[in-house]
A = this chain, B = another copy of it.
């Protein structure tokens, strides 16, 4: 197959490298940064540049851009994709992207599937991309009356490049759960470092501080867009966490040993259950 990848950052770059390493598909890639396109070519992460000509030849197109840029790209190339082309995006929110692009795809006769690879690091950009990024991870897909043979083809590709499993869900369900598992974690990490005590931490910290703040150094442009597109679910999760944290704070202020122990045991039991 010919596979097009638009956006060669951490995710798109890793997709390109993984496909080149694990399959015999042809990869055409493009990035808005000229230096990234050059780096992708020099490292043989792509076979050629994705432009209007090569895009016409693509059987699968993976869009690894921010949400709004994803929508813009697919809309402006809606008439260029082959009729049996499958376009899959990788952005971190699905409701806003899928609602728009599913209808664009339907009107233009290609297939669109919302996607979100559950993999990443605290770094971003092509320099950090690697073929092993998806090893053991879950690939989320939100198919919408998609032909089963098409789904099989797509699934095969993602399993071939290292994903351990495919999670099928709806855009709504994706956004609800991702607000908690990923977005809230980034908010907490980013907020956690803001105590003035953070500056005195040298010599006083071990694993738990490191884990808690690993993703604090985030790309504020990308995350602002992701958070705002999902602000209903995310605000709800923050609110719930604040309520839960307040319970510990109250127990401490009341010097309430039984209540504090109960709160901690509840958390331990929940973690056991949730894994």
Of B174, B182, B231, the residue contacting A208 (CB under 8 A) is B182
Question: Interface stretch among A72-80, A143-151, A218-226?
Answer: A218-226
A166 to B255, CA, bound (A): 33
Judge if A102 is at the interface, Cβ distance under 8 Å.
no
Judge if A181 is at the interface, Cβ distance under 8 Å.
yes
Of B209, B257, B270, the residue contacting A181 (CB under 8 A) is B209
**Residues of chain B lying within 8 A (CB to CB) of residue A32:** none
Size bracket of the A interface? 35 or more
The A3-30 residues at the B interface (CB cut-off 8 A) are none
**Residues of chain B lying within 8 A (CB to CB) of residue A207:** 120-121, 214-215
A231 to B177, CA, bound (A): 33
Q: Is the CB of A182 within 8 A of B194?
A: no
As for how many copies of this chain the complex holds, the number is 2
Q: Is the CB of B264 within 8 A of A238?
A: no
* Most B C-beta atoms less than 10 A away, residue of A182, A203, A255: A203
Of B185, B192, B201, B252, the residue contacting A235 (CB under 8 A) is B252
Q: Is the CB of B209 within 8 A of A211?
A: no
Judge if A217 is at the interface, Cβ distance under 8 Å.
yes
A223 to B204, CA, bound (A): 17
Q: Is the CB of A268 within 8 A of B138?
A: no
Contact with B along A101-126 (1 / 0, CB 8 A): 00000000000000000111100000
**Residues of chain B lying within 8 A (CB to CB) of residue A238:** 245-246, 248-249, 252
Q: Is the CB of B197 within 8 A of A263?
A: no
**Residues of chain B lying within 8 A (CB to CB) of residue A248:** 187, 190-191, 227, 238
The A248-275 residues at the B interface (CB cut-off 8 A) are 248-249, 252-253, 255, 257, 260-261, 263-268, 270-275
Nearest chain B residue, comparing its CB with the CB of A273: B199
